[in-house]
Amino acid sequence: KNEVEQSPQNLTAQEGEFITINCSYSVGISALHWLQQHPGGGIVSLFMLSSGKKKHGRLIATINIQEKHSSLHITASHPRDSAVYICALFGNEKLTFGTGTRLTIIP
Amino acid sequence: NAGVTQTPKFRVLKTGQSMTLLCAQDMNHEYMYWYRQDPGMGLRLIHYSVGEGTTAKGEVPDGYNVSRLKKQNFLLGLESAAPSQTSVYFCASLSPAWRNTIYFGEGSWLTVV
């Protein structure tokens, strides 16, 4: 079993829909990161979480340390949100990545 | 991705050739990582370093070597390139003591023929 599992693997939605991407993990961590990768490859950091909830614009990230689960939400989704969203664990000096969720928002 | 620079961005190698990828960061980060990204497999850790002069193996280290002689640079070497090493390589850095934000290089596309 992988240390970090993301779901769904692929998600297609209409513009304006509320999006939820999930990340479950099985190991102890110091922090959990959500990242965004656009076509062409560039990877940018969206959030770093060690507890609770963070919000940036239309993006909201939550983490439940006891349940080893995190979610990334996008409100009022837009075609420019189309990208791969990746969950990453930081612990024991290592960064471990999920395989990502490919999100496509249709106008 | 301000702060982390990878060179080269594109390279075609023949089987058996050697090459070095350079990752340079100007943020004084302690931790640096090399990953490869293959379709459907996500980012897999090759080697990493938690400080100048230290390196450690990751998930897929075979066929690669690394060095961190200076804090700002992390080099990834392919000793004898194989077609299985065709991939996109990403470097990342972070400082656990400062915000813990991950910074990525733009990627290096390597093809081994």
Q: How far is B81 from chain A (nearest CA, A)?
A: 23
Cβ-Cβ contacts under 8 Å, A90 against chain B: 94, 96, 100, 102
Q: What is the pLDDT of residues B12-69, one digit of tens each?
A: 999 999 999 999 999 999 999 999 999 877 899 999 999 999 999 999 999 999 999 9
Q: State the 10-residue block means of pLDDT for chain A, 107 residues long.
A: 88 98 93 91 90 95 95 97 95 90 96
User: Left, alpha or beta for B50 (phi > 0: left; psi -120 to 50: alpha)?
Assistant: alpha
Cβ-Cβ contacts under 8 Å, A97 against chain B: 35, 42-44
The answer to whether B88 contacts A100, with C-beta atoms less than 8 Å apart, is no
Phi and psi at residue A81, to the nearest 5°: -80, -10
B97 vs B28, B30, B80, B101, B107, CA distance in Å? 11, 9, 37, 10, 25
The answer to whether B50 contacts A98, with C-beta atoms less than 8 Å apart, is no
